[in-house]
Structure 1
Amino acid sequence: MKYLVCADIHLNINRRFEDTLDALGQILVLAPSLNVDKVLILGDVYTSRRPHSKEKAAFERWVRKLADAGIEVIILKGNHDEYPDGTHSYSEFTELQIPHVTVHNNPAIVDNFFLGHMLLREAKLGPIDYQHPDAMSTDELLAKFPNYRGYLLGDVHKHQLIRKSPLVVYAGSINRVDFGERNDPKGVLLIDDKDEVGSYKFIELKSRPMIQYDIDLSKALPALKLKEIGDAIVKIIYHGTPAQMKKVTKADTWHNSIRGYCKELIVQHDVITGTVARDERVNESITPQKALELYLEKLGELSPEEKADIFKLGVDLIDAAA
């Protein structure tokens, strides 16, 4: 028996819909070519709990093509998939009883695999590998749901092996969702019963690159390497004082030269005001998430738990603005 495992598809017509369809198309080619018996989808197919009809139609077509090829499709409900009234985004599959397609509550057991859409304490989040101290630990998960051959998880977008024996692994999202994931490889897992217990292969999918430039306006503008940009999504963040921000008009020529090369260009301005002493560790080489972490380090009046909650909220806001 061969399994192809994917998670966190996040179909969204307002957010790089075609890129997500491209990733699904790659899976549609992979699954039959690898002689896969089952495709396991570990939650969060859609971004919205009430997906657009275009999103639902695209997913239904994709599932039907897999099912028509004789591949069983297992769909696990994620936290973005259920409504407060108990209905869910995949009602049409359960109502129509499409052959080879089943929908499961979270968590579920399939062929002695534990399937879950959940956050573990050991999971690394974002570009700084933040770990949430209040989440369930791996030991707690294994104690609560013991003796399964493997624990296949969704919800965390970064693919990562949490434990080898028994296998505890996050498949990761199939496509880059925001700039916090710009350096993460995206793909699917392949599990073959013929291989050693607990082993899997990560198969990387082609995902549109994301490139971020942090520009310190107190320095000369860097030289551009346009050939490296390709068809990427590019974000430029200008950092400087109000006076230095006047240079941005001159920089327009610089970033506009990128516009014709990239898929999408995002320009942001980080205006530095006041006379607060600057932390030398906060510079253009670190991410906004890391800068927030360094700032919270200085707040001695907050408990570690309070800092963790503030950090999580801050990361959500940063990702939403990405």
Structure 2
Amino acid sequence: MTEGRREAIFGYNQGKSNAYLYFYDTPKPMPTHPPIRLMHFADVHFGVENYGRFDPATGLNSRLVDFRDALNAAIDVALAAGVEIALFAGDAYKTRDPNQTQQREFAACIGRLTQAGIPVVMLAGNHDIPNTKGRANSIEIFGALAAGRMFVLDTPNVIQVTTSKGNTLQVASMPYLIKSLVLSREESKDKGVQETTEMIVARYEAGINQLAAKCDPNLPTALMGHFSVSNAKLSANQIGYLTNEPEVSMSALTQSPFDYVALGHIHRFQDLNRGQQPPVVYSGSIERIDFGERNEEKGFALVDLVKGFTEVKHVEVKTRPFVEIEVDATDAGEEPTEKILLAIAKHDIRDAVVKASYQIRSEQLAHLRENDLRAALQSAFMVVALHKEIKRDTDAVRSKLMTEALDPLQALATYCDTRDSLRGRKDEMLLRAEPLLRELEAEETVGK
């Protein structure tokens, strides 16, 4: 018998009943606790300023404005959806030492949640933790200033948080482990990269097992983590630097009593345990970092957490578009500009960060109207590149083939083959050239 489709999802009428009814063609266990609706987000990276410029309206870098607006848009949706707790899975800033402006803007966003009565649990990510023991991490101040409303977790721990609706959510935390802070010199001495990585993985998994043992198995429970998981798909821009990254196994994350695993660190949204319980979810970054993320949807995870059965939905928010345009105009003859303009017109570039590149042949340069290309890109927020690649291989072929080994007619035929403007007239030119060449040869013979 196949599992039935879910007919009734989300929603709990606290004023009428403590029961929550699901409709299935096949039975599902009835929850023992009401569903807890939560917001799961991560990797907001305030301070990323690549492809930004000064915004005169705010006095801020335009990319800081983009990240702030994206986070505020996510919070707007979360509040409208009735979330009762927010889980932030790490990386508030680009660096471990954010400036005061970045801290102010991030605090203003998070403050909107607490002002609405929504408690916020914040986990330290690799961009939040200093490399030196004893120094405060970049988000630690939030727990000190908003005790009881914000909970900052920078060590493995288990806490119980009362949500805005009076429900209890148990939260286990596994922050990012920095090698120099968790392994002694003796432990890592003379160890290769692979051995060191395996030692870090063992620390993660042992810590998660200990957290599971400390949890009350009867309470709805979320595990928060900031690390890589086996088989997770990286964003394109992360492939270059998340090499030899310790990868935690799925079996460590899907054990009881975890009902939801809220992850940060990888910028692509994904549920690594899709269709099964518990969901193991990277919420993804809140905004695009660079062109490697241009095709990824950005946003947050909206979760209905129920003991034994949790549902998650990715909510996309509006972000700055990144558009990359590549055109091969080498076959456009004397109309390379028209082909490139047609390719640009196929993309919605309004308010986008745009990177455009095109290929043309050297003999097409005289027909290229670069001013028209720039005019077609004017509606973009920023054009970071308009790259021209000139294909000169036909010149190389021509010079190789046009040798003394070819007779004049063969040389003329080869030349016509390498010129778009002459290829269609090749036969006519050969027909006219042949009697002239024969006449020239006859004159040279008489002269001898």
Settle same-fold status: TM greater than 0.5: yes
2:292 match:
180
Q: Kindly indicate whether the alpha-carbon contact (under 8 Å) linking 1:226 and 1:261 is maintained by their aligned counterparts in 2.
A: no
Q: Kindly indicate whether the alpha-carbon contact (under 8 Å) linking 2:92 and 2:139 is maintained by their aligned counterparts in 1.
A: no
1:142: how far off? 3.0
- 1:1-322 correspondence to structure 2 within 5 Å: 1-12=36-47, 14-15=49-50, 16-85=63-132, 86-105=135-154, 109=158, 110=171, 112-127=221-236, 135-142=246-253, 147-163=257-273, 164-193=276-305, 197-216=309-328, 218-219=330-331, 220=336, 221-222=339-340, 223=342, 224-225=344-345, 228-239=348-359, 247=365, 250=368, 252-267=370-385, 269=387
Q: Kindly indicate whether the alpha-carbon contact (under 8 Å) linking 1:13 and 1:54 is maintained by their aligned counterparts in 2.
A: no
4+ runs deviating over 6 angstroms: 128-133, 272-275
Instruction: Give the Cα separation in 1 of the matches to 2:318 and 2:349.
Output: 16
Q: TM-score of the superposition, structure 2-length normalised? A: 0.54
Answer with 1 or 2: which has the greater Rg.
2
How many residues matched? 272
Instruction: Give the Cα separation in 2 of the matches to 1:135 and 1:271.
Output: 40
Instruction: Give the Cα separation in 2 of the matches to 1:195 and 1:201.
Output: 17
Higher relative contact order (Cα pairs below 8 Å, separated by 6+ residues):
1
1:116: how far off? 0.6
1:72: how far off? 0.4
Q: 1:218 to 1:107 in 2, by over 3 A?
A: farther
Q: Kindly indicate whether the alpha-carbon contact (under 8 Å) linking 1:13 and 1:55 is maintained by their aligned counterparts in 2.
A: no
AA aligned opposite 2:136 = T
1:6: how far off? 0.6
For structure 2, the 5+ residue unaligned runs are 1-35, 51-62, 159-170, 172-219, 394-448
Instruction: Give the Cα separation in 1 of the matches to 2:66 and 2:371.
Output: 29
Instruction: Give the Cα separation in 1 of the matches to 2:42 and 2:367.
Output: 43
AA aligned opposite 1:262 = A
Q: Kindly indicate whether the alpha-carbon contact (under 8 Å) linking 1:122 and 1:137 is maintained by their aligned counterparts in 2.
A: no
Q: 1:137 to 1:102 in 2, by over 3 A?
A: closer
Of stretches 104-113 and 155-164 in structure 1, the one that deviates more from structure 2 is 104-113
Of stretches 221-230 and 45-54 in structure 1, the one that deviates more from structure 2 is 221-230
Q: 1:269 to 1:107 in 2, by over 3 A?
A: farther
Of stretches 249-258 and 12-21 in structure 1, the one that deviates more from structure 2 is 249-258
Q: 1:170 to 1:32 in 2, by over 3 A?
A: same
Task: Kindly report the root-mean-square deviation, in angstroms, between the aligned alpha carbons of the 2 structures.
Answer: 3.2
